[in-house]
Amino acid sequence: QVKELKANIYSNKNIVTTSKKEKDSIKRFYESQIAAINSSFSSDIKLLNSTWEAKFQLHNITILLDMKTKFESEKARLLESFKEQHQMEISKLKAELAYVESSRNSSHFTVLELKKRLADQTNEYTTKTKDFESKSKEAAKTIAELREKFKKATSSSSSPAVSKDRSAANTASS
């Protein structure tokens, strides 16, 4: 359109007009044509700028969507890896717990067995101690009775000197 207008201007230069009115009218016509073209050109530039801006924004959105997709993929991969690691750790801890419980249970049975043995041995010791004490008392009683009998037997003997020697012997052995 600009080329057409310039062509019209150059072709109209050669026209000779007689009246100032006609010149003003032609001038206003061309000025209105130029203003219309400028307005159209300005609108076209705005439209072109808007198109470029839209393309730029679309490009940015595409980049952001690609980045989001990559991040989501990486996030999913990391979560899966994290889950696998935790599953392995949980499995390991469960195995350790089972071992500890097994050890504890066997230790518990061992402790119970040892406590039972100790109680049995304590009872046996107590019983043997009581038997020993009763036999010791019985033996002491028997010894006392035998001494008494010995004293009686020695006192009824015929010689008092022999009886003194035997008393001295009995006292020394006691």
In the DSSP assignment, the letter for residue 174 is -
Return all residues near 23 (Cβ < 8 A) that are at least 6 apart. Answer: 17
What does the pLDDT look like over 1-32, one tens digit per residue?
566 666 665 555 545 445 677 778 878 888 88
3 φ, ψ to 5°?
-65, -40
Contact 140, 117 (CB under 8 A): no
What does the pLDDT look like over 101-137, one tens digit per residue?
887 777 767 778 888 888 888 888 889 889 888 888 9
Block residue for tokens 């049995």:
120
Contact 5, 37 (CB under 8 A): yes
